[in-house]
Amino acid sequence: MTDHPLRNTPAMDAFWMPFTANRQFKAAPRLLVSAEGMHYTADDGRTILDGSAGLWCVNAGHGRRGIAAAVERQLATLDFAPTFQMGHPIAFEFAERLAEIAPGGPDKRLDRVFFTNSGSESVDTALKIALAYQRAIGQGTRTRLIGRERGYHGVGFGGLSVGGIVSNRRVFPQLNGTDHLRHTHDPARNAFVKGQPEHGVELAEDLERLVALHGAETIAACIVEPVAGSTGVLIPPKGYLERLREICTKHGILLIFDEVISGFGRLGAPFATDFFGVVPDLVTSAKGLTNGTVPMGAVFASRAVHDGLMNGPDGIELFHGYTYSGHPIACAAGIATLDIYREEGLLTRVADIADDWAAAIHDLRGRKGVIDIRTIGLVAGIELTPRPDAPGKRAYDVFVDCFERGLLTRVTGDIIALSPPLIIERGQIGEIVDILGAAIDRVA
């Protein structure tokens, strides 16, 4: 595609693209070359409104100078130093800053922080911490990990095993000793809902079923996304997370919330944990942690979990970590990101715009082929009737049409997911709805 004067399409053979139909993409590439605020610029010079915060990660918007400056300073000061039996101040500083806003509120903050490099690594780290903790407190028979159907917990073997998306699992062997709760998606009872659906609290009892099946003494942890994003925006029914918490507590099972997308203000509170008022034992994060600028993840652990592992014999308490855990450049980006979140009130801003967002998006109801719309915080899922001969094709066509007309969205199956940067203005919400609505009509 070298037909446009601005285009300078690179050779594309070598880069094996992730989660992409490589041959299809390379035959008709979509390239982004710069970004500022709420917008990308495509390689033909067009401005593209970012309806997906990149990939659910650019919460403070693009091109933040404060982050760039902090990274530049850190690179010139200390480019890398190990965190295995060594330390550098900025990793401790960032962890302390995170501890101040960690999920759980003032009384129950999960204020012990383990650094990773991605959401997938955060998930595998949390699962390993759960297993190590159970063993450390004399519950070594607890090795089973419970996930949920339609869950997405990244692509490591741990996350894959507790995840519940068939195409991600089909080809790969999984950990022994996992099981899955039923998912909570029930469009027959809960279609076109703003916020949490009324029906489905009883689905939490599925955990009791698995306890009865396997024995509580075999189960280490249960992991769920408080709001599932990558599997099509699934919002927990009222009372569901509370009930999961109760059942986990009753049976000594650690509850893990995967907040890789819901963390850092997406719902209008710093974390979904705070938004729903349900506090798990471990929280995974990534993405918005550094505003998507430098790869990094973090696991937040409760004092109980952390201290459970600190009471053993002297020596390394957890045989786990990454060369780049607490990488100085990522920490610099993270601290600068937290500064922006604080200065601009971004971790709670969505609380003020969520109603307008929901109202605008739900206006798409009635367009041809729209069978459900769900919204919470600054997230929306718009589900379309699949084409009988080609599931996923209709939403993909909408995605391409939107891109061509200046809007970046994300699709999964026949669901269009929206999650713009938290700095969005009301007029831009209208723009998203206009472009998307017209695309849905055209593709119908």
> Which among 40-48, 84-92, 117-125, 431-439 is the span making contact with ligand PLP, rule CB under 6 A?
117-125
Q: Which is nearer to ligand PLP, 292 or 308 (CB)?
A: 292
- Is residue 324 a contact residue for ligand PLP (CB under 6 A)? no
In angstroms, the Cα distances linking 229 to 39, 57, 161, 415 are: 22, 12, 18, 11
Greatest alpha-carbon pair distance for the chain in Å reads: 67
Residue 187 to residue 335: CA distance in whole angstroms: 41
Question: Which residue number places its CB atom closest to ligand PLP?
Answer: 119
Helix (H, G, I), strand (E, B) or coil at 372: strand
CB 159 within 8 A of CB 331: no
Put the strands of the sheet holding 144-148 in their side by side order.
Answer: 112-116, 297-301, 282-285, 254-258, 219-224, 144-148, 178-181
The single residue among 40, 94, 114, 152 that binds ligand PLP, judged by CB under 6 A, is 152
Task: Closer to ligand PLP by CB, 258 or 383: give it.
Answer: 258
Residue of 225, 274, 401, 414 interacting with ligand PLP (CB under 6 A): 225
Q: What is the 3-state composition of the chain as percent helix, strand, coil, each rounded to the nearest 5?
A: 40, 15, 40
CB of 153 to ligand PLP, least distance (A): 5
Among 70, 95, 123, 204, the residue binding ligand PLP under the rule CB under 6 A is 123
Residue closer to ligand PLP (CB basis): 422 or 435:
422
| Residue written as token pair 């279609």 | 191
Q: Does 286 bind ligand PLP (CB under 6 A)?
A: yes
Please give the full DSSP string across 145-192, using - where no structure is assigned: EEEETT----SSHHHHHH---HHHHTTS---SSEEEEPP---HHHHTT
**Residue 59: strand, helix, or coil:** coil
Nearer to ligand PLP, 370 or 379 (CB): 379
Nearer to ligand PLP, 287 or 362 (CB): 287
Structure tokens at 219: 């189960």
CB 407 within 8 A of CB 436: yes
Q: Please tell me the distance from the alpha carbon of residue 363 to that of residue 192, in angstroms, as a whole number.
A: 10
Q: How far is the CB of 46 from ligand PLP (least distance, A)?
A: 26
- Shortest Cβ 337–ligand PLP spacing (Å): 16
Q: Is 409 in the site for ligand PLP (CB under 6 A)?
A: no
Q: Find the shortest distance in angstroms from Cβ 157 to ligand PLP.
A: 13
In sign, the C-alpha dihedral spanning 90, 93, 98, 99 is: positive
Question: Token digits for 225?
Answer: 């996304």
CB closer to ligand PLP out of 260 and 384: 260
Which window, 71-79, 138-146, 225-233, 376-384, contacts ligand PLP (CB under 6 A)?
A: 225-233
- Binding ligand PLP by CB under 6 A: which of 120, 190, 375, 428? 120
Contact code string over 228-247 relative to ligand PLP, x by CB under 6 A: -xx-----------------
Least Å distance, CB 117 to ligand PLP, is 8
Residue 118 binds ligand PLP, judged by CB under 6 A: yes
Binding piece for ligand PLP, criterion CB under 6 A, among 1-9, 258-266, 311-319, 422-430: 258-266
For 36, the 3-state DSSP assignment is: strand
Token pair of 101 as six digits:
């806003």
Size of the residue set binding ligand PLP (CB under 6 A): 14
Q: How far apart are the first and last CA of the chain?
A: 27
By DSSP bridging, strand 178-181 and strand 144-148 are: parallel
8 A C-beta contact, residue 257 and residue 244: no
* Residue 420 engages ligand PLP in binding (rule: CB under 6 A): no
Stretch that binds ligand PLP, among 7-15, 149-157, 315-323, 341-349 (CB under 6 A): 149-157
Contact criterion met (CB below 8 Å) for 187 and 199: no
Min dist. Cβ of residue 221 to ligand PLP (A):
15
Per rule CB under 6 A, is residue 302 in the interface with ligand PLP?
no
Among 104, 147, 154, 237, binds ligand PLP (CB under 6 A): 154
Q: Does 263 bind ligand PLP (CB under 6 A)?
A: no
Euclidean distance between CA atoms 50 and 435, whole angstroms: 12
Minimum CB distance to ligand PLP, residue 378 (Å): 15
Report if residue 54 touches ligand PLP, rule: CB under 6 A: no
For ligand PLP, the closer CB: 139 or 284: 284
List interacting residues with ligand PLP (CB under 6 A).
118-120, 123, 152-154, 225, 229-230, 258, 260-261, 286
